Amino acid sequence: MLSHQNFSAQDWALQAKEYEHNKKILPWGHTTKPEVVTTKIIKEKDNIFDPILQTYKAKDKENNTQNNEKNLLKHQLARNKVNKIII
């Protein structure tokens, strides 16, 4: 129960702000603001890869991916050929 002390409105306002500030401080540190996800951001991310054509919209990314796939196929075929000769 509250004691009968004389509090001014200014003291009460300062104590209320201090209490509110102390409640916002978390023991593990400050909180970060959540990232705002807009429909524009979602559409941009959806537009990076075309699932029907199985291609990337960015030509440099598509060319790099195609070259990597060709190189992997060459290496795999070479390994299969070596294994076939050994067996």
What pLDDT digit, counting tens, does each position of 6-48 carry? 667 788 889 999 888 888 777 777 777 889 999 999 888 888 8
Measuring CA to CA, which residue among 38, 60, 68, 62 is closest to residue 50? Answer: 62
What is the average per-residue pLDDT within 48-65?
90
Q: For 36-72, b where at least 16 C-beta lie within 10 A, e where not — what string?
A: eeeeeeeeeeeeeeeeeeeebeeeeeeeeeeeeeeee
pLDDT reported for residue 47 = 83
pLDDT reported for residue 7 = 64
What is the average per-residue pLDDT within 51-58?
88
Q: Tell me the residue type at 6.
A: N
What is the pLDDT of the chain when averaged over all its residues? 84
